[in-house]
Amino acid sequence: DADVTQTPRNRITKTGKRIMLECSQTKGHDRMYWYRQDPGLGLRLIYYSFDVKDINKGEISDGYSVSRQAQAKFSLSLESAIPNQTALYFCATSGVAGTTDTQYFGPGTRLTVL
């Protein structure tokens, strides 16, 4: 089974709708991240969390919110989706405190906002 899972894998929605993307991990990692990827722009950090009570904004947090429901679960919400939020979204995790900062990625969610 995959260590980092994301649901849904694909989603098509309409402008103004609320959308939640979910991420779960079995790696036992403390740190979790949400990125979006657009063609030619690489990965951009939306939010990150170092533990359940520590959530931080990344480079492009406007229009997004997150919830860390448990050590293993980190959800990303688009309160009112807009077309320029069409992108590939990745969740990533990295190790426990004091260890490597290598990040491991989920399979991604392809979101299309019409």
Partner 1 sequence: QKEVEQNSGPLSVPEGAIASLNCTYSDRVSQSFFWYRQYSGKSPELIMSIYSNGDKEDGRFTAQLNKASQYVSLLIRDSQPSDSATYLCAVNLDSNYQLIWGAGTKLIIKP
The reply to whether 102 sits near partner 1 by the rule CB under 8 A is: yes
Alpha-carbon dihedral angle through residues 46, 51, 52, 55, given to the nearest 10 degrees: -30
The reply to whether 101 sits near partner 1 by the rule CB under 8 A is: yes
Enumerate the β-bridge partners of residue 20.
Answer: 77
Tell me which residues in 1-30 interact with partner 1 (CB under 8 A): none
3-class DSSP state for residue 47?
strand
The reply to whether 104 sits near partner 1 by the rule CB under 8 A is: yes
Site string for partner 1, 47-86 (x = CB under 8 A): -x-x-------x----------------------------
Binding segment for partner 1 (CB under 8 A), chosen from 18-26, 61-69, 74-82, 98-106, is 98-106
- Residue 63: C-alpha distances to residues 19, 21, 93 (Å): 11, 14, 22
